[in-house]
Amino acid sequence: MNKPTRHRGPRMVHRERNGTSRLFAMAFGQFFQRVCHIYRTLAEGDIDLAIIASAAAISGIEGSMRDETFRREFADMQAVVGEARQRGCNALSIAEATGLPRETVRRKMKRLVDMGFLVHRGVGDYVLRPGVMQSQPYSRMLEDISTETLRLMNDCLEQGIFVVEPPEA
């Protein structure tokens, strides 16, 4: 039997999953379309390129973000994570993470290097170029996605899809 996950603060929970499933599908679908549009704009209209870029960026620091000290140091997007602090990824790992064909990923990772988004450190070793997320238009993209995420969450709260559960005593 799984123990319930403990949480400290208030949480959003489904109020009535079956009674609001269509409302959620609509809200999420609209959110997804807006976010895909934002991603496509930065990726020359190529959503696969955007997905690969995002997966490579996440891959480099995902493990480190579990460490509380690292998480505190890099919680603010303005803190640049250098090459040495990132774990490299390769086309196979990104293909497995995204479900895209390895050859497509390999080709698009080379394109991301040409675009200045990724750094190729060696055979099968790609990382996010330090400082790229702090530059325009990437910082603006994250701002726009944050705005869209808040819009989704507020829509879900306003439509009664989710409710806020008070913190545990």
2 occurs within a structural domain = no
CB contact set of 57 (below 8 Å; sequence gap of 6+): 128, 133
- Residue 114: its pLDDT value, please? 97
- Please list the alpha-helical segments (H only) found in 62-137: 68-73, 91-98, 102-114
Inside any domain, residue 3: no
Residue with tokens 């293909």: 95
Tokens representing 142?
A: 């994250």
Is residue 68 assigned to a domain?
yes
In a domain, 75, yes or no: yes
Give the per-residue pLDDT at 6: 58
The count of domains in the chain is: 1
User: Which residues constitute the domain of residue 125?
Assistant: 15-156
Over the stretch 16-61, which tens digit does the pLDDT of each residue have? 888 899 999 999 999 999 999 999 998 999 999 999 999 999 999 9
Tell me the pTM.
0.85
Q: Report the 10 Å Cβ neighbour count for 16.
A: 11
For 84-130, write each residue's pLDDT tens digit.
999 999 999 999 999 999 999 999 999 999 999 999 999 989 999 99
User: Is pLDDT of 72 > 50?
Assistant: yes
